[in-house]
Amino acid sequence: MVIVWLLVWELSSRSGLDQRYFVPPSVMLRSFYRSVLVTGELRTHIWATVTRLLGGLVVGAIPAMWLGVVMGRNQHAWLRYSLFVAALGLIPVIASFPFSIVMFGVGDFQKWAMVAAAVFYPILYCTTKGVQISRILQAAANSPVEDVIRGDWLQGPGPWIFTGLKMGSVIGLATLLGVEMHTSTRGLGFEIVVAMANLNLVRAYVGMFAAALVMYALWLCLTFIELMWTKSSKA
């Protein structure tokens, strides 16, 4: 489907669409190749975005998964914290952008904090639901929780946890690009906003394409880890 979509885009831009605004994919890919492998000017921005995304993902995912396991296993903790966490999860993270500048400045740590806040709720929610469903299934199968070893017990919520990680990664990258557009001189968000300010749409498309590749690579890595975890658990 992606190949078909790119072919339709290429043919449409060459047959009638204004190429100033609808840059042909062939032109974009040539520019991407030159920026990454020839001049190397885009590698610095890709590296900055990747390190910030991974740093924020780790900072946000660890406490989210820990709290998700606690809330999933403990009904009292679920009743005590669920409404508070849900209320915080409804607030768009980007709305706290001015406060993050005041608290953390405009360095990389601020980007980590924004990404961590963005990924926290999806991972927490999916982990909690996964653990709760796993316990319900165990109870339905008359399998006492005390007799289930930790590895088997975590196998149930595993797909939910990885779903939360993938969803959180997408939201975290979108948040990070928005932050980089305002308080950074490196990163793909900065690259895109500078290109749009100069009406250099080829450069802007290349930045967006690079961001999509970053997300796709992270998605593949998470899927590979999930498959390896599932295979090792079955073994």
| Domains of the chain listed by start with CATH number | 36-234 (1.10.3720.10)
Residue-wise burial string across 179-209, b where 16 or more C-beta atoms lie within 10 A, e elsewhere: bbbebbebbbbbbbbbbeeeeebbbbbbbbb
Q: What is the pLDDT of residue 99?
A: 86
Residue 59 CA: distances (Å) to CA of 56, 66, 123, 211: 5, 12, 12, 21
* Cα→Cα distances 165→52, 116, 135, Å: 16, 12, 21
Residue 118 in tokens: 């963005």
Residue with the larger pLDDT of the pair 107 and 140:
107
At residue 235 the predicted structure's pLDDT band, cuts being 50, 70 and 90, is low
- pLDDT for residue 120 is more than 80: yes
Query: What is the per-residue pLDDT for 166?
Result: 94
Q: What is the mean pLDDT of the chain?
A: 84
CB 74 within 8 Å of CB 133 = no
- pLDDT over 60 at 144, yes or no: no
Q: Where are the alpha helices (DSSP H) in the chain?
A: 2-15, 25-33, 41-73, 75-89, 97-104, 108-140, 150-155, 158-180, 188-197, 201-234
Residue 21 to residue 13: CA distance in whole angstroms: 9
pLDDT digits (tens, 9 = 90+) for 187-197: 999 999 999 99
159-211, pLDDT tens digit by residue? 888 999 999 999 999 999 999 999 888 999 999 999 999 888 889 999 999 99
What's the pLDDT score for residue 148?
Answer: 47
pLDDT surpasses 80 at 155: no
Give the whole-number percent of the chain exceeding pLDDT 90: 39
3-state secondary structure of 182: coil
Considering the entire predicted model, what is its pTM?
A: 0.84
Mean pLDDT of the region 87-96 = 80
Contact assessment for residue 127 and residue 65, using Cβ atoms and an 8 Å cutoff:
yes
Q: Exposed, middle or buried by CB within 10 Å (0-12, 13-18, 19+), for 163?
A: buried
Report the greatest alpha carbon distance in the chain. 67
More confident residue, 77 or 33: 33
More confident residue, 234 or 210: 210
Task: Say yes or no to pLDDT of 145 above 60.
Answer: no
